[in-house]
Amino acid sequence: MVWLPQEGRGFYPVRQEDMPYDREYFEKYRRQADTPIGHALTEARVQMVLRHWDGPVLDVGIGCGQFVLAHPQAHGFDVNPAGVAWLKEGGIWDDLYGRQYPALTFWDSLEHIFDIEKAVSHADEWVFVSLPIFDNSEHCLRSKHFRPNEHVWYFTDTGLKDWFAKQGFACVEQNNLETLIGREGIGSYAFRRV
């Protein structure tokens, strides 16, 4: 891992062929979504978006699609072939890189994307994010959220906000609702383009 303490973030060069995106991965998240914690997380995410934006959103990295189903105006984008097939079957797939979107959501997915600058650049106004937050590199490496076959990026709270500021976004909401619901060390953020 390369940790940049002055930027509050780390990079781990995950190899594409090591990423576990397949039907089993999709089904694992389907099982997790259909639990009391999964339902509470989805509701918290929908409500967070609706506090700031009541228009269409593109959910990037859908897990099993629970947010797409719960939000009244959501479509989805994914790289997992099982997720892509599910989205296309439902007529709710959209190409993140094909056009601009008023709002993007990255629920546990931004840290999986190699070119996060390019991904976030497709948001015209809003980006909503949940992801693990670390104190430093040592905290990261001993955390259950250190996933060398999935997570490319690792952020401190300040590092994430500073990175978004460099992309032209201000943080308008930050909370730890997902941690209160039962997930360890997760921060949720709403960023608005300035």
Question: Tens digit of pLDDT for each residue in 58-102?
Answer: 999 999 999 999 999 999 999 999 999 999 999 999 999 999 999
All structural domains of the chain with their residue ranges: 24-135+142-193
Question: Tens digit of pLDDT for each residue in 134-163?
Answer: 999 999 999 999 999 999 999 999 999 999
Q: How confident is the model at residue 17 (pLDDT cuts 50, 70, 90)?
A: confident
- Sign of the four-CA dihedral 110, 116, 122, 125: positive
Q: How confident is the model at residue 1 (pLDDT cuts 50, 70, 90)?
A: very high
CATH superfamily of 24-135+142-193: Vaccinia Virus protein VP39 (3.40.50.150)
Question: Tens digit of pLDDT for each residue in 111-129?
Answer: 999 999 999 999 999 999 9
Q: What is the pLDDT of residue 160?
A: 98
